[in-house]
Amino acid sequence: MEMLPCYNEDVSEDVGPTDDVGVAQDDSGGGPLSRLRKFHNSDPSNSNSSSNINQLDTAAREHYATAAESVKKLLLLELSSARDVETMVELSNKAFDSLDWLQPDYSEFYDAVKDVLSRRAQLSSVETELRTHQSEESDAVSSRCNVEVRSKESMAALATSEAELGKAKERVSGLKRRVSEIMDLLRKLVIESAKEERVFADVEKEWNQCLESHMAIKKEEKELTEQVEEKQKAVKKIKQLRDEVEAGVQASIKALSSLCQNNIGGDR
């Protein structure tokens, strides 16, 4: 905001600028309000400005008063539209600089401006906090939405898993039943196997006896076969000898017969 200049250079020289302007501290001890200048109506140097203005004629004082009101209204307009506290403090300080020239005693206006700035700073702080909480709320809502989506997904996954669990449980139960049945069958088979082993032992004993008897018979058969073969060879040999002897007998008989025939013929 561009402040109004003093209208009379001679008067401004008489009033003079204000030196070492202080700043008002906000309640927090820092921040934008810490740069707001303090009102210095009680400053002795300001009494000269008031005295100089009072020495002006009525028209000049009214002119100064009108200019001061214009500065105030302009500041009010700017403070009403401004949102940034630092900018508002800067505009207020410039307005106070102008009012130092135009109306040394503006303590009530200063207090009102300071109250506006203080409340605006408080509002800015609250709005900042609100934005922070709104952002956190938005993040929380977003997180909740994400969790809700994940919850639905996890619920669906849980339902699917539960269904698979039920199927797996049924399969396990079925297998356990089969195992139980097989174990029962196995126990029966073990008993039957033990029984069959006893039967097998008896049959094996009988078989061994039969085998032993069979081997003895086979041995006897072999021995008899050998005896038969020997006897057959002896019989064959004796038959040959008999045939030879019989042939000799026949030859002898034939010779004897021939001899007898010869003798009969000779006697005649």
Q: What is the pLDDT of residues 152-205, one digit of tens each?
A: 999 899 999 999 999 999 899 998 988 898 888 888 889 988 988 889 899 899
Tokens 């669906």 found at: 156
Q: Are 109 and 75 in contact (CB under 8 A)?
A: no
- Find the mean pLDDT for residues 245-252: 90
Q: Are 15 and 48 in contact (CB under 8 A)?
A: yes
Q: Are 100 and 49 in contact (CB under 8 A)?
A: yes
> How much of the chain exceeds pLDDT 90, in percent?
18
Strand partners, 80: none
Give me the pLDDT at residue 92, please: 80
Q: Is residue 128 scored above 60 in pLDDT?
A: yes
Query: Higher-confidence residue: 54 or 258?
Result: 258
Q: Which two structure tokens, joined as six digits, stand for 13?
A: 């020289």
Q: Are 64 and 7 in contact (CB under 8 A)?
A: yes
The alpha carbons of the chain give a radius of gyration, in whole angstroms, of 74
Strand partners, 24: 36
- Find the mean pLDDT for residues 204-233: 90
Cα separation of 209 and 188, whole Å? 31
pTM of the model: 0.44
Cα separation of 97 and 110, whole Å? 12
Tokens 């073990």 found at: 190
- Find the mean pLDDT for residues 18-44: 57
Give me the pLDDT at residue 149, please: 93
Cα separation of 54 and 159, whole Å? 91
Handedness of CA 206, 212, 214, 216 (dihedral sign): negative
Query: Higher-confidence residue: 69 or 126?
Result: 126
